[in-house]
């Protein structure tokens, strides 16, 4: 049985958590393949909003198994906090949650290094979530990291101390003003590790998935962040430290490329970005401010306000191509109700040429987005539940995007709740 992927196509926060939750009834296993607690995936149902950081978004479905794959980096302290938040919801985490032994651990000193690196960069900072993501992936590729499976070995605390001390020396060398209490950081870390060892099943996840595939289980891989934050294909260096694109699911779960089925690409009807870095269609006016206010555009992990702007079809098409997206899901169309006209970026003026692909650099001085204007819609979409209720101008907006990116939009989302999801038949 092929594995389906669900990926964000912009700069993250497209609504992945909501859609994974909606789709989980069709799947036996939901597997996160990269990123870590930099992610904030929001789900809403029965009037309750849940935000998940490391735990896959299928966790509220009693029959689904949720796997944290080898490509994910795990902060035990945040992971334990997430599990504590789930306590009132009667979820048997012993059976419904599995963690790969090959996933790397975020140490408290990785977080310190992240903060020190951002302080040292000053104005050029990435705008990291300060969760230690970059330093942990650096230790992974530098072959110094500590993996979940290591904590089952007797010698691991010695390795922990050596790595921690090395990190502290690096922080000291960076000459930044960072205050911390290492004893309490260590204490919280070891308490969380003990909790995980007692309560969570660790698995050889590639083997688990390989058996599940042979048994015909339906598997959905859940991405974090978005394609424009990919370490290779994003707006480097203003990116995260993992491959957020389809290839990341292969390495982050141990799935062969020829075992991938559908690739669901998810995007907002406009664009947002949190943190630093280029954003050609960003709006600095009342329209951008309205999108942020109506769309509640505040980071689910850091609470920072998200920058807002028009939909960028050049960037969207690039993401569709890099990922091999087979079907699209458009989120938050409801937020655009009430604008007379909507602009969509259809090309860039770049170094004296008009281009329709994503160039090497998206720096504001070099890229001038060119727009097509489409008529907006007045209607409130949030109570609509079927395609035939949607206004014509909304459907024209959908059709324009489909024609540009040459991929069908199969789901439109008209609100944060599970029920505010319209499956298109055509």
Distance between CA atoms of residues 132 and 32, nearest Å: 18
| 28: annotated active-site residue | no
Residue whose CB is less far from ligand GDP, 164 or 273: 273
Residue whose CB is less far from ligand GDP, 139 or 230: 230
Contact positions with ligand GDP (CB under 6 A) in 194-233: none
Please check whether residue 107 is in contact with residue 148, taking contact to mean a CB–CB distance below 8 angstroms.
no
Contacting range for ligand GDP; rule: CB under 6 A; set: 136-144, 200-208, 361-369, 411-419: 411-419
Distances (CA, A) of 420 to 18, 39, 130, 240, 413: 10, 23, 33, 30, 6
The item of Mg ion, ligand IMO, ligand GDP, none sharing an interface with residue 15, based on CB under 5 to 8 Å by kind, is ligand GDP
Q: Name 48's Cβ contacts closer than 8 Å, sequence gap at least 6.
A: none
CB of 78 vs ligand IMO, minimal distance in Å: 12
The item of Mg ion, ligand GDP, ligand IMO, none sharing an interface with residue 413, based on CB under 5 to 8 Å by kind, is ligand GDP
What is the SS3 assignment for 176? coil
| 104: annotated active-site residue | no
Q: Is 415 in the site for ligand GDP (CB under 6 A)?
A: yes
What is the SS3 assignment for 45? strand
Residue whose CB is less far from ligand GDP, 13 or 139: 13
Contact positions with ligand GDP (CB under 6 A) in 3-42: 8, 12-18, 39-42
Q: Is 422 in the site for ligand GDP (CB under 6 A)?
A: no
Please check whether residue 139 is in contact with residue 145, taking contact to mean a CB–CB distance below 8 angstroms.
yes
CB of 296 vs ligand IMO, minimal distance in Å: 14
Q: Give me the catalytic one of 41, 104, 110, 218.
A: 41
Q: Which residue has the tokens 């707006």?
A: 235
What is the SS3 assignment for 244? coil
Contact positions with ligand GDP (CB under 6 A) in 327-386: 331-332, 334-335
| Residues recorded for the chain | 426
DSSP string, 79-105: HHHHHHHHGGG---HHHHEEEETTSEE
Half-sphere exposure of 235 (CA within 13 A, CB side): 23
Please check whether residue 390 is in contact with residue 381, taking contact to mean a CB–CB distance below 8 angstroms.
yes
Q: Which residues bind ligand IMO (CB under 6 A)?
A: 8, 11-13, 35, 38-41, 126-129, 131, 133-134, 224-226, 229, 240-241, 274-275, 300
Distance between CA atoms of residues 328 and 376, nearest Å: 21
Residue whose CB is less far from ligand GDP, 405 or 411: 411
The item of ligand GDP, Mg ion, ligand IMO, none sharing an interface with residue 112, based on CB under 5 to 8 Å by kind, is none
Q: Which residues bind Mg ion (CB under 5 A)?
A: 13, 40, 300
Compute φ and ψ for 139, nearest 5 degrees.
-65, -30
What is the SS3 assignment for 23? helix
User: What would the two tokens of residue 283 be?
Assistant: 């709006």
Site string for ligand GDP, 277-296 (x = CB under 6 A): ------------------xx
Sign of CA dihedral 345, 350, 356, 357: negative
CB of 385 vs ligand GDP, minimal distance in Å: 13
Q: Give me the catalytic one of 13, 21, 75, 312.
A: 13
Binding residues for ligand GDP (CB under 6 A): 8, 12-18, 39-42, 44, 295-296, 300, 331-332, 334-335, 413-416
Active site positions, annotated: 13, 41
């Amino acid at each position: 049985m092929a594995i389906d992927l669900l990926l964000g196509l912009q700069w993250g926060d497209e609504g992945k958590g909501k859609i994974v939750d909606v789709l989980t009834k069709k799947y036996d296993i939901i597997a996160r393949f990269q990123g870590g607690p930099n992610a904030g995936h929001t789900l809403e149902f029965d009037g309750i909003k849940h935000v998940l950081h490391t735990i896959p978004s299928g966790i509220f479905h009693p029959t689904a198994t949720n796997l944290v794959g080898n490509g994910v980096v795990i902060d035990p302290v945040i992971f334990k906090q997430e599990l504590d938040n789930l306590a009132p919801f009667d979820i048997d985490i012993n059976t419904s949650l599995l963690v790969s032994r090959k996933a790397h651990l975020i140490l408290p000193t990785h977080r310190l290094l992240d903060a020190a690196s951002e302080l040292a960069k000053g104005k050029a900072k990435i705008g990291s979530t300060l969760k230690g993501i970059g330093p942990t992936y650096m230790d992974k590729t530098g072959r110094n990291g500590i993996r979940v499976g290591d904590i089952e070995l007797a010698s691991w605390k010695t390795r922990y101390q050596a790595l921690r001390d090395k990190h502290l020396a690096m922080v000291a060398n960076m000459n930044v003003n960072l205050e911390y209490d290492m004893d309490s950081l260590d204490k919280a870390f070891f308490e969380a590790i003990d909790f995980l060892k007692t309560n969570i099943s660790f698995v050889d996840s590639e083997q688990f998935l390989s058996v599940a595939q042979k048994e015909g289980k339906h598997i959905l891989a859940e991405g974090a962040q978005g394609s424009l934050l990919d370490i290779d294909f994003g707006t480097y260096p203003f990116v995260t430290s993992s491959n957020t694109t389809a290839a990341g699911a292969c390495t982050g779960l141990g799935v062969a490329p020829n075992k991938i089925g559908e690739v669901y690409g998810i995007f907002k009807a406009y664009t947002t970005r949190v943190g630093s870095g280029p954003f050609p269609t960003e709006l600095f006016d009342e329209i951008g401010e309205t999108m942020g206010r109506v769309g509640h555009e505040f980071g689910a992990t850091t609470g920072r306000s998200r920058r807002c702007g028009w939909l960028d079809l050049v960037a969207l098409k690039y993401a569709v191509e890099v990922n091999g997206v087979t079907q699209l899901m458009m989120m938050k169309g409801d937020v655009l109700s009430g604008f007379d006209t909507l602009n969509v970026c259809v090309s860039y003026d770049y170094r004296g040429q008009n281009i329709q692909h994503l160039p090497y650099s998206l720096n504001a001085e070099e890229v001038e987005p060119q727009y097509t204007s489409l008529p907006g819609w007045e209607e409130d979409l949030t109570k609509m539940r079927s395609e035939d209720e949607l206004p014509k101008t909304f459907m024209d907006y959908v059709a324009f995007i489909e024609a540009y990116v040459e991929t069908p939009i199969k789901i439109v989302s008209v609100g944060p709740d599970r029920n505010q999801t319209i499956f298109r038949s055509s």
